[in-house]
Amino acid sequence: MIRHQIQTYRTCHFRKDIFLFFILIFSFFVIDIQAQNDLLLTGLDQYAKDTVGYVRINSVNFIGNKKTKEKIITRELDIDNGSLVPKKGIKDYITSERNKVFNTQLFESVDVLVTEQGKDTLNVDFIMVERWYTWPVPLLELADRSFNEWWNNRNHDLSRIQYGLDFKQRNMRGRNETLHLLVKLGFSRQFTLGYSFPYIDKQQKTSLSFNTTFKEETTVAYKTEENKFVEYENDTEVQRRSYKGNVNFGKRYGFYDHHNLNFGFTYDVINDTIAELNPDFFLEGRTELRYFTLKYTYTRDKRDITSYPLNGYYIQAGIEKTGLGIFDDLNVVNVDWSLWRFWNMRKSNRWYYSLGFLGKLGFPEKVPYNQMRAIGYGGMIVRGYDNYVIEGQNAGVIKNELRLRALSTSLNFQNVIKSKHVKRIPIDILFKCYIDAGYAHFKDVDPSNADFTNTPLLGYGFGVDFVTFYSSVLKFEYSFNRHGRGGGLYFYYSVDL
């Protein structure tokens, strides 16, 4: 039997006793652990007080890069054979050079050994353990924006699980190239193929990447009501098909400044039923959209560790033109930005503070529903409103977070597992509290979504982060908001593969 159903999801609170939250936290402290620093940096203690003059780097050596070409590492470094380095701040300088190598995401660990070769003459050895580069990962994930939306708004419906294969072959040819193949089945079908080159010129400053995606959906979120998705479901008939392809050219100046130019094409088709239920899905009752996009993005990244920064800053700003006049479907300009500052307070390596400002401006204000994304997508989240989406072309979010590093250690498996990849598993546990604020503007907001649109949003809470193997980050957060709705315990997970 063919089943057609329109599903509207109302508020569904997910609240656990707060004591369970703390039991989960403190259970991690009973593990038998052995103290271990994040970075082994030895040989510079003699310069702790000697801040006058320079040292000469006799040689820079790399140990452990069995597959990775040496030039892929040296392109990240300022230090070289024969370099003169001021004694003042030399430890911070060498640590910064190490972080550049680690942030390539090619190595599980990067340690530095400095040895004295004579008066004010040093050898610097980077000792690395390469990652696994082949990841044929069986895919099992949720079709929703996050675990929290699936649990709270979708009544943890197991039919929304997607499965397949996420295959990545990283560091192809030892040149940090990546082949990506994604096959996703279940709730929707998606096929993605991509390849990236970190450089295509002799100066190693110009990068190139491309990918293409085909997707089919039998269930489509066709509108937003009470700031939650309303879906139309048809078990046997595809309701939406989309084809996307893009090519990205990157230019790198220095170590921290990146310029990217992305050129893409999208062909998006929906069934008549979706267009009838929401004529604004593609605007004017259309059932298809074809458009080219051109986007320029500037990035300056001076974070210490990109996957979980504790010090430094990050700037990204982009401008995108959707619709280049070839088709008459869209004519939209979007500007977006992400500004972050991270502080290691008093250099204690225990207390950290971060401040972020994210936002977007779009013209015109009225665009197709499927492109009207403001708060609740990607990093534009006001914690405490995790279950909700706020539509609009113009929005901003401010995020404040104070973290306390409660534990920095590692599990040592050197005598148990004979593998270079799992000799030690680092574990960092950080407690945190936070306050987020946001605002989304949309003049023609539907009355059912008016509670959170065109009104200040304020969320706050506390939680704990677990940072471990492959820069995996596990977050538990207990949040509240000024509207008194949708707060509770939330869970997030990310990993660098």
Torsion of CA 141, 196, 317, 395, to 10 degrees: -20
38-130 and 4-15+132-403+434-457 share a CATH fold: no
So what's the pLDDT on residue 154? 72
So what's the pLDDT on residue 152? 73
Q: Indicate the pTM of the whole model.
A: 0.78
The domain spans of the chain are: 4-15+132-403+434-457, 38-130
Q: Which CATH superfamily is domain 38-130 in?
A: membrane protein fhac (3.10.20.310)
Distance from C-alpha of 478 to C-alpha of 488, rounded to nearest angstrom: 5
How is residue 392 written in tokens?
């609009």
How is residue 288 written in tokens?
């298809």
Question: How are the residues of the chain apportioned to helix, strand and coil, as percentages rounded to the nearest 5?
Answer: 15, 50, 35
Say if domain 4-15+132-403+434-457 classifies as CATH 2.40.160.50: yes
92 burial type by CB count under 10 A (0-12 exposed, 13-18 middle, 19+ buried) = exposed
Paired sense of beta strands 54-63 and 121-130, if any: parallel
How is residue 492 written in tokens?
């997030």
So what's the pLDDT on residue 39? 57
- For 461, list phi and psi in degrees, rounded to 5: 170, -165
- For 74, list phi and psi in degrees, rounded to 5: -65, -25
123 burial type by CB count under 10 A (0-12 exposed, 13-18 middle, 19+ buried) = middle
How is residue 58 written in tokens?
């006799």
Cβ-contact 477, 493 below 8 angstroms: no
Cα angle, residue 299 at apex, residues 362 and 431 outer, rounded to 5°: 95
Cβ-contact 228, 73 below 8 angstroms: no
Q: Give residue for tokens 């004519």.
A: 331
Cβ-contact 413, 425 below 8 angstroms: yes
Each residue's pLDDT tens digit in the chain (497 positions)?
333 333 333 333 333 444 444 444 444 443 333 333 345 666 677 666 667 788 899 999 999 888 898 988 988 898 999 899 888 888 888 988 998 898 888 888 888 988 888 888 889 999 988 887 776 667 777 776 667 677 777 777 777 778 888 888 888 888 888 999 999 888 888 999 999 998 888 888 899 999 999 999 998 999 999 999 998 988 889 999 999 999 999 998 888 899 999 999 999 999 999 999 999 999 999 999 999 999 999 999 999 888 889 999 999 999 999 999 898 889 999 999 999 999 998 766 789 999 999 999 999 989 999 888 899 988 899 999 988 999 999 999 999 999 999 988 877 665 555 555 556 677 889 999 999 999 999 998 999 999 999 999 999 999 999 988 666 889 999 999 999 987 788 888 876 65
**Dmax of the chain from CA atoms?**
85
Q: DSSP letters along 251-290, please?
A: EEETTTEEEEEEEEEEEEEE-HHHHHH-TTSSSTT-SEEE
Closest CA to 219 of 267, 159, 167: 159
